[in-house]
């Protein structure tokens, strides 16, 4: 009896197990190997840690890496705050027409990263974009949204928040509606105002959800690529080139597979450290179930 | 006095909510309006908000230049096939992880967790070698097979099946049903909400996917919709007339799915598996 169950269990996970080995474990190990060679698509010669040594002296790698960190450091809180704000408004007893608003906020989820990039590129066009047109109507000077690195970076942040709200909103709303009403009623009796209720009841109650949203957002932003490629193509120059685009260009356009693999491994270690830190943090301070 | 105060804050908050909502909606509306303008009108200053002579010309232009029919069929084939296989694999795997107690299953669970940390984006170059060696390069099967395995799908089913009482399975075992029958005749039908939610998610992932097609596809005959769009936006001189209409066309299937399945997508209890 026990033995047949074991067979069934194996059968049930078989497909995923095979796919995991071929398309995850395989490439991961191959990536480690490549990173120790000068593989360029033809021949691979073992060169030890040379790729890693070169990588840490490569200013274009540092630039892509620091742009990605900056993007994550500003983008994650931005996405978090916007998503939470929208979600709180959508569960508040003081707003009307929630269903329509919820559908509107959900629309960006349907749209592919490429089209998100196209949308925002079109909105923020320098000569014929809607935003500069409005600025012009208000008497301002056109803003160099795509030819200035800082402004291009801002447009990417807007697009990120716009595209990321929908999914986080679903997660947040699920958590917000399960906060017991009695907590708010007790606060009402004590005369707490809206802001105090949010700070002392809402935020602590959704703590584990917040960790999840932040963890997912960190991963999504650290590996952002298609949306930015369509929006700025990493430009002007390489001002908005993020690490995954850097890896792609190094590995496929320049065919420096070994070097790109070394960059991949560095990115992997960073993601690993992030998630270990966050799991530790989340476990240590768990306030709700 | 309190009533008046309540009504005032309700009005203010509702207005604030809709100001933000309109700001979210506007980029899509602007894309749609722009796609209905003639090429000349798109690039004339001052801009017009509504198209002066709304025309569908851009759409016929896009449909004819881009061979969209082919890209639609390719993408649809990949998305539907992958979705069916993903749901089936994730359901069986999630069930096994929830209902059988073996040490090696726990190890596998941790391995699946790791896949979320090392997504394809991070290991593009070695993944490409694997695709090439398996003969999946420039082959639609290369888009389908690797995408069947998804940690999110497995977790959704695992979380769901954990809530199903074991007594149910035990009594079926006593009645002499084997594990396969129990799963397919009892467990899978119970998990219908998760099946639908994951199917919608999976379709969206595949329809909007960019990384895998970028790695696998090179012949325009095998282009997916996203790769076709990328070929327009990646040109040195972007043909905006073509790009705007093509972008709108690419959104149609997802909007249809949203309208049909809205109830399932917006129902947050079904996505609760994602919250682990």
pLDDT in tens, B7-24: 888 899 999 999 999 999
Please report, for chain A, the start and end positions of each structural domain, with discontinuous segments joined by +: 31-284
Looking from the CA of B35 toward its CB, the CA atoms found within 13 Å total 23
Long-range contacts of A85-88 (CB under 8 A, 24+ apart): A85/B20, A86/A165, A86/A169, A86/B20, A87/A168, A87/A169, A87/A172, A87/A173, A87/A176, A88/A172, A88/A176, A88/A198, A88/A202
pLDDT in tens, A89-141: 999 888 888 889 999 999 999 999 999 999 999 999 988 899 999 999 999 89
> Closest by alpha carbon to B244, among B257, B254, B233?
B233
Do the chains contact at A110 and B244, CB–CB below 8 Å? no
Residue B112 has pLDDT above 80, yes or no: yes
pLDDT band at B214 (very low <50, low <70, confident <90, very high): very high
Closest Cβ opposite residue A123 in set B30, B96, B247: B30
Residue A276 has pLDDT above 50, yes or no: yes
User: Contact at 8 Å (CB) between A271 and A211?
Assistant: no
Q: Cβ of B69: how many Cβ atoms within 10 Å?
A: 9
Do the chains contact at A170 and B271, CB–CB below 8 Å? yes
Mean pLDDT of chain A: 90
Chain A CA closest to residue B123: A264
User: Contact at 8 Å (CB) between A155 and B68?
Assistant: no
pLDDT in tens, A154-179: 999 999 999 999 999 989 998 999 89
Do the chains contact at B130 and A261, CB–CB below 8 Å? no
Residue with tokens 């096939």: B81
pLDDT in tens, B121-140: 888 999 999 999 999 999 99
- Give the minimum alpha-carbon distance from A112 to chain B in angstroms, rounded to a whole number: 5
The pair phi, psi for residue A2, each rounded to 5°, is -60, -40
Residue A289 has pLDDT above 80, yes or no: no
* pLDDT on residue B30: 95
CATH classification number, A31-284, choose in 1.10.3720.10, 2.30.29.30, 3.90.1150.10, 3.30.70.260:
1.10.3720.10
State the Cα torsion A57-A63-A68-A71 to the nearest 10°: 150
A97 CB neighbours in chain B (<8 A) are 14, 17-18
* pLDDT on residue B272: 47
Angle between helix A59-91 and helix B2-35 axes, rounded to 10 deg: 130
Q: Which residue has the higher pLDDT, A61 or B115?
A: A61
Name, in order, each residue with C-beta under 8 angstroms of B73's C-beta and a sequence gap of 6 or more. Answer: none
- Token digits for B27? 């980029």
**Is the bond leading into B46 cis (omega within 30 degrees of zero)?**
yes
- Give the minimum alpha-carbon distance from A285 to chain B in angstroms, rounded to a whole number: 17
Burial label, A79 (beta-carbon count in 10 A; 0-12, 13-18, 19+): buried
pLDDT in tens, A201-245: 999 999 888 988 998 899 999 999 999 999 999 889 999 999 999
> Count of CB contacts below 8 A, A vs B?
266
Beta bridge partners of A46: A37
State the Cα torsion B143-B149-B151-B157 to the nearest 10°: 120
Closest Cβ opposite residue A212 in set B149, B179, B275: B275
pLDDT band at B270 (very low <50, low <70, confident <90, very high): very low
In A189-208, the residues whose Cβ lies within 8 Å of chain B are none
pLDDT band at B74 (very low <50, low <70, confident <90, very high): very high
pTM: 0.91
Q: Cβ of A49: how many Cβ atoms within 10 Å?
A: 11
Q: How far is CA A3 from the centre of its chain?
A: 44
* pLDDT on residue A44: 84
pLDDT band at A2 (very low <50, low <70, confident <90, very high): low
**How far apart, in whole angstroms, are the C-alpha atoms of residue A85 and residue A166?**
12
The pair phi, psi for residue A37, each rounded to 5°, is -125, 175
Name, in order, each residue with C-beta under 8 angstroms of A215's C-beta and a sequence gap of 6 or more. Answer: A274, A275, A278, A282
pLDDT in tens, A64-80: 999 999 999 999 999 99
* pLDDT on residue B41: 85
**How far apart, in whole angstroms, are the C-alpha atoms of residue B276 and residue B266?**
18
pLDDT in tens, B149-208: 999 999 999 999 999 999 888 888 898 888 889 999 999 999 998 999 899 999 999 999
**How far apart, in whole angstroms, are the C-alpha atoms of residue A178 and residue A265?**
40
pLDDT band at B2 (very low <50, low <70, confident <90, very high): low
Do the chains contact at A31 and B126, CB–CB below 8 Å? yes
């Amino acid at each position: 009896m026990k033995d047949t169950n074991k067979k069934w269990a194996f059968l049930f996970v078989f497909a995923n197990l095979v796919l995991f080995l071929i398309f995850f474990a395989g490439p991961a190990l191959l990536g480690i190997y490549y990173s120790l060679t000068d593989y360029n698509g033809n021949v691979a010669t073992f060169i030890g840690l040379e790729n890693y040594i070169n990588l840490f002296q490569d200013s274009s790698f540092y630039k892509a890496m620091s742009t990605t960190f900056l993007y994550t450091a500003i983008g994650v809180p931005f996405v978090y705050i916007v998503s939470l704000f929208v979600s709180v408004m959508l569960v508040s007893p003081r707003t009307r027409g929630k269903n329509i608003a919820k559908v509107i906020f959900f629309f960006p989820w349907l749209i592919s990263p490429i089209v998100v990039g196209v949308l925002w590129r079109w909105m923020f066009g320098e000569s014929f974009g809607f935003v500069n047109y409005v600025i012009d109507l208000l008497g301002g000077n056109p803003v160099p949204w795509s030819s200035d690195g800082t402004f291009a970076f801002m447009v990417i942040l807007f697009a990120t928040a716009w595209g990321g709200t929908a999914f986080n909103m679903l997660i947040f709303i699920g958590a917000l509606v399960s906060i017991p009403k009695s907590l708010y009623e007790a606060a009402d009796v004590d005369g707490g105002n809206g802001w105090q209720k949010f700070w002392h009841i809402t935020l602590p109650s959704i703590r584990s959800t917040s960790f999840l949203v932040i963890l997912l957002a960190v991963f999504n932003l650290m590996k952002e690529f298609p949306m930015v490629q369509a929006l700025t193509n990493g430009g002007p120059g390489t001002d908005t080139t993020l690490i995954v685009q850097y890896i792609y260009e190094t590995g496929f356009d320049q065919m420096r597979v070994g070097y790109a693999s070394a960059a991949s491994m560095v990115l992997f270690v960073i993601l690993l450290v992030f998630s270990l830190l966050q799991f530790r943090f989340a476990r240590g301070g768990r306030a709700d179930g | 006095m309190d009533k008046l105060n309540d009504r005032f804050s309700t009005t203010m908050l509702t207005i604030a909510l809709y100001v933000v909502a309109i700001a979210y909606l506007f980029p899509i509306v602007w894309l749609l309006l722009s796609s209905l303008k003639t090429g000349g009108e798109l690039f004339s200053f001052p801009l017009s908000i509504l198209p002066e002579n709304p025309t569908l010309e851009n759409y016929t232009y896009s449909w004819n230049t881009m061979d969209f029919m082919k890209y639609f069929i390719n993408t649809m084939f990949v998305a539907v096939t992958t979705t069916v296989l993903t749901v089936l694999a994730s359901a069986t795997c999630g069930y096994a992880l929830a209902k059988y107690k073996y040490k090696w299953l726990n190890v596998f669970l941790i391995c699946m967790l790791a896949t979320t940390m090392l997504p394809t984006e991070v290991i593009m170059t070695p993944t490409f070698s694997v695709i090439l060696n398996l003969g999946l390069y420039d082959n639609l099967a290369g888009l389908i097979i690797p995408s069947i395995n998804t940690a999110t799908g497995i977790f959704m089913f695992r979380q769901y099946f954990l809530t199903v009482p074991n007594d149910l399975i035990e009594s079926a075992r006593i009645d002499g049903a084997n594990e396969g029958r129990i799963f397919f005749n009892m467990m899978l039908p119970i998990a219908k909400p998760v099946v639908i939610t994951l199917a919608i998610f999976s379709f969206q992932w595949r329809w909007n996917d960019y990384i895998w097609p970028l790695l696998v596809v090179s012949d325009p005959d095998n282009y997916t919709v996203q790769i076709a769009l990328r070929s327009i936006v990646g040109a040195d001189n972007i043909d905006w007339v073509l790009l705007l209409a093509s972008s709108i066309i690419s959104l149609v299937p997802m909007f249809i799915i949203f309208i049909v399945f809205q109830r399932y997508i917006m129902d947050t209890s079904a996505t609760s598996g994602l919250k682990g």
